[in-house]
Chain A
């Protein structure tokens, strides 16, 4: 595949208000292989939270692309990102998704590693008659080439030459701040992980959460259930119950490196857990930050993480398995020290809205499979679902971006009914540009090798 083949998949002509995306972007296994190499295994990926490994020797396991990795806190409290493979023959050394272990012992030949990844035992080393060359090697677990934290949000990259994490995140750091600052003590993960899977492309999930247009048609049964509940019902309230549909600020922003944000007021703030604890939050963080903490914020960290605060607060991690299959893991996070009342509201809202066993998410995931099925064959080429908001989108930041000190490449405000789709342009442009640049670079170096060989 050549860079021009990728370029041809997105017809991007802002001057003439054209943005069309070819269905191959969502269904081609050949393209998926490029995504795996250049995006998932070539860029920064979210791997977890420091809050998931709060104590010495706590660990979690996850993946970066196809690579199994471990996040482990050592005895001194430092968090390490390690490749989950024994240096002897490459077997997995860590077998559970979460745990606590001072030592990880490979079950094959019993090589042992401490919680910092250092090799602390090579079985019958003396009898092995090893050479000096072997003794000079480091037999510790390989570190993830780049592994950094921004305020407890852990990112890793298999590519040692990736840009600094702070540059990669850019203005998205503000979205992390708006979560971490909800408590002076920081955040914690509420125990219980939810896993689900769908036979559809990974981009469908990250696009769906930015898509305000789908909410009323897709989730009408959810909204109807909420509105039918009487206010003296014993059930937990929801921000989506009897919400305001006019006279409120809603909008979206696209940032560098493919990240985006859908935001809005108007959802009933009285139903938010943070509103219940407002006295101790607002005075600490100030009016603007508090207003934004109560806004709906669907923030997408390209390519594999979403930080979603609408009904409760979720981290959703996607793992692309193939062009047609995506695994999802979700975590519910909360400010430490919140009241028991707020915690109960947070948990019930999370389950009801975000869970695949709830009243909203299963409609989305079922539609992802319908989308994958509908555009399986060639009759569907360029889809028409990327143009709402095209006339109104701004390349100068909107005031809502400026008040948080953010500089999005694209931004727009509008009523609920606008259902902006320009929010999808940023991630798709990043996707295209990154694949094209990486392909061009690899072809140049392959050409260089051929010249050298001659």
Chain B
């Protein structure tokens, strides 16, 4: 497989992930992840340094299984969580995609992500801007997300932070 093919496949995966989040097709979104995926949003130690050890430092989110993400989907959809009354509309914009290392069945990729959000309840807009660092693996012929580290740049969180905002 040529490098440009791999880059095109990975680009499609990243863009598709953002689209599935925006369309609130969260089960389809979850299907992009491996069962033992590592989903990690560090907190910050200082103005310049995010935390870098999830076992000895505080993360905003650190999950090591797809089941943990599924719990969050269930929580949001239940209608019983005040944080999801109302669920904001979002648009993910994925850019600056850089495939750092690609083998036949494994790839390391970085990109930038800006999520624009609109809260219809209060007619307020909000953005989050992130750097993604991901490890992808080939499973039954398609790329899956085996690890996703999300460096959230604007970390003064207005009431909540959930996966669809990142």
Q: Which residues of A are interface residues toward B (Cβ below 8 A)?
A: 96-99, 190-199, 218, 220-222, 224-225, 228, 233-235, 327, 332, 340, 343-344, 347-348, 350-351, 355-359, 362-370, 373
Beta-carbon contact of B55 and A192 below 8 Å: no
In the assembly, what is the distance between CA of A373 and CA of B159, in Å? 14
Is B45 part of the binding interface, using a Cβ–Cβ cutoff of 8 Å? yes
Contact of A366 among B71, B72, B85 (CB under 8 A): B85
Beyond A234-B65, A363-B83, is A195–B46 a contact (Cβ under 8 Å)? no
Beyond A192-B44, A195-B155, is A234–B85 a contact (Cβ under 8 Å)? no
Beta-carbon contact of B83 and A362 below 8 Å: yes
Contact of B72 among A96, A220, A359 (CB under 8 A): A359
Contact of B47 among A97, A350, A351 (CB under 8 A): A97
What is the minimal beta-carbon distance from B121 to any residue of chain A, in angstroms? 9
What are 21 A-B contacts with C-beta separation under 8 Å? A97-B47, A192-B42, A192-B44, A192-B59, A193-B44, A197-B156, A197-B158, A198-B159, A332-B58, A343-B56, A347-B57, A347-B62, A351-B62, A356-B60, A357-B157, A357-B161, A365-B159, A365-B160, A366-B159, A369-B122, A369-B159
Is B151 part of the binding interface, using a Cβ–Cβ cutoff of 8 Å? no
Is B95 part of the binding interface, using a Cβ–Cβ cutoff of 8 Å? no
What is the minimal beta-carbon distance from A352 to any residue of chain B, in angstroms? 9
Beta-carbon contact of B45 and A193 below 8 Å: yes
Give 6 A-B pairs besides A196-B159, A362-B162 with Cβ atoms closer than 8 angstroms: A191-B56, A194-B155, A218-B82, A340-B55, A357-B157, A359-B72
Contacting residues, chain B, for A199 (C-beta < 8 A): 158
In the assembly, what is the distance between CA of A197 and CA of B162, in Å? 15
B residues contacting the other copy or chain, number (CB 8 A): 40
Is B75 part of the binding interface, using a Cβ–Cβ cutoff of 8 Å? yes
Contacting residues, chain A, for B68 (C-beta < 8 A): 235
Contacting residues, chain A, for B78 (C-beta < 8 A): 221, 224
What is the minimal beta-carbon distance from A244 to any residue of chain B, in angstroms? 23
Is B41 part of the binding interface, using a Cβ–Cβ cutoff of 8 Å? yes
Beyond A218-B82, A221-B78, A234-B64, is A356–B58 a contact (Cβ under 8 Å)? no
Beyond A195-B155, A362-B83, is A357–B160 a contact (Cβ under 8 Å)? yes
Beyond A192-B58, A355-B60, A366-B85, is A198–B158 a contact (Cβ under 8 Å)? yes
Beta-carbon contact of B161 and A362 below 8 Å: yes
Q: Which residues of B are interface residues toward A (Cβ below 8 A)?
A: 41-47, 51, 54-62, 64-65, 67-68, 71-72, 74-75, 78, 80-83, 85, 122, 155-162
Contacting residues, chain B, for A193 (C-beta < 8 A): 43-45, 58
In the assembly, what is the distance between CA of A87 and CA of B35, in Å? 59
Contact of A192 among B45, B81, B162 (CB under 8 A): B45
Beta-carbon contact of A195 and B58 below 8 Å: no
Contacting residues, chain A, for B157 (C-beta < 8 A): 194-197, 356-357
Beta-carbon contact of B62 and A220 below 8 Å: no
Beta-carbon contact of A221 and B44 below 8 Å: no
Beyond A359-B75, A363-B81, is A190–B160 a contact (Cβ under 8 Å)? no
Beyond A225-B71, A362-B161, is A98–B59 a contact (Cβ under 8 Å)? no
Contacting residues, chain B, for A228 (C-beta < 8 A): 71
Beta-carbon contact of A98 and B45 below 8 Å: yes
In the assembly, what is the distance between CA of A368 and CA of B83, in Å? 11
Beyond A197-B157, A344-B55, A356-B160, is A363–B82 a contact (Cβ under 8 Å)? yes
Contacting residues, chain B, for A198 (C-beta < 8 A): 158-159
What is the minimal beta-carbon distance from B128 to any residue of chain A, in angstroms? 11
Contacting residues, chain A, for B44 (C-beta < 8 A): 192-193
